[in-house]
Structure 1
Amino acid sequence: MTFAPDQEPIPADTARHVRIIDFIQAAETLKDTLRSGRTAQGRLESTAEHTWRLCLLAILFEAEVANIDVLKLLKICVVHDLGEAISGDVPAPIQSSDDGRAARERQDLLTLCKALPEDLSAEIVALWDEYTDARSPEAILAKGFDKIETMLQHVKGRNAPGFDYAFNLGYGREATDRHPLLREVRSLVDELTQREMASQADA
């Protein structure tokens, strides 16, 4: 940042900045937090990689949605899996609505956010709650795109023999049915899944 000759620099709040850096360092764990999805080369993807592509997906469809706060959408995408920095990821095929995962991830998020200044901690937890409850248009889109990114990875990945591609066809349907754009994109992903299933059957 540059300042005019007659303008004094704003003093840095060093203690606040240290807390932010401490949080960032703790969140680095997500680079090594592995998911069950595999990349095109066959290695397990990380939660950080999943989050990056989810954000990219949201950016690329920005022009397709009206009256959406895109910055808020991206913030929700970035924070939605932060709790996994502590307890890790639960693979999509074994998730269930009554497995206590949401409460555990929220507690882990609270633990992770203790390093942050209170205002930033409160903002991140509020965004996470908004995502979990899908109580805003941005949260609905984030939740739907999250499911779609997971399904796309299942199709793109070099999976082990016998991988259950049919899982995709029922996965996350409730989330992707909540917005016209999500339904349309979901239909394209379903086509990719069915094509991959046919390819595997012919192999």
Structure 2
Amino acid sequence: MNSELLRGRLDFLREAERLKDVLRSAHTSSGRQESTAEHSWRLCLMALLFEDQLGELDLLQVLKLCIVHDLGEAIHGDIPAVQQAAHPDKSQQERQDLEHLARTLDAPARQRLLALWDQYESAGSAEAQAVKALDKLETLLQHTQGQNPADFDYRFNLGYGRRYTGAHPLFQALREQIDADTQRRIDAAG
């Protein structure tokens, strides 16, 4: 075993742990702000649960994409979807942050990680497109079950991510049910 390789990968894992402390705009059902790591975990769980509905997609590739899709947020945090229009360099910043995060990795591991993130960001494969859709759906699902602040903008959710969630019958069906839950939250807030 190469001790330098192991040390570099452990250093990466130590720094990636910061993702556990990156808070998102979503709240859990108990009212606590959700972390990006928690979002990524449930995104992986969604992919696993719907594997049988995803056709010929490579589940391992899907899970890899789920795991790395928000990893760059460990450095500068999450930008809520409602604020992303004000941050046109969000993607570039996340890529730079991921490069920084991966600096201790050996070149092959770093290249694999960055290639996965690039594939996700560009929606450059059927697997990446599916993860983009599931990512939006997981976020919307959390918003419908979270104990959110009184001024939470549920109406934004009705249009959020449609570019991805309309691309497959599974995502359309999930979206329909989640949108109905969103509408109930809107109606209840009255």
Are residues 1:40 and 2:22 paired?
no
**Structure 1 stretches lacking a partner, 5+ long:** 1-11
Which stretches in structure 2 are left out of the alignment for 5+ residues? none
After the TM superposition, which residues 132-151 of structure 1 pair with which residues of structure 2 at under 5 Å, given as runs?
132-151=121-140
TM-score, normalization by structure 1? 0.90
Q: What fraction of aligned residue pairs are identical, expressed as a percent?
A: 48
Q: CA deviation at 1:26?
A: 0.4
Larger Rg: 1
CA distance in structure 2 between the partners assigned to 1:135 and 1:144 by the alignment: 13
Q: Deviations over 1:107-129 (max 9, x none)?
A: 11111111111111101101101
- After TM superposition, the score normalised by the length of structure 2 is 0.96
With over 3 angstroms needed to count, the CA separation of the structure-2 counterparts of 1:97 and 1:185, relative to structure 1, is farther
Greater share of helix residues, 1 or 2? Answer: 2
**Match of 1:124?**
113
Match of 2:79 among 90, 95, 98: 90
* Residue 64 of structure 2 is aligned to residue 75 of structure 1: yes
Structure 1 stretches (4+) deviating beyond 6 angstroms? none
RMSD: 1.2
Residues 103-114 of structure 1: pairs in structure 2 closer than 5 A? 103-114=92-103
Residue from 14, 27, 43 that aligns with 1:54 = 43
Count of aligned pairs between the two proteins:
190
Give the drift of 1:53: 0.5
SS in 2 for 1:167: helix
Q: Secondary structure at the match of 2:105?
A: coil
Partner of 2:152: 163
Task: Give the stretch that moved more between structures: 88-97 or 167-176.
Answer: 88-97
Counterpart code for 1:184: A
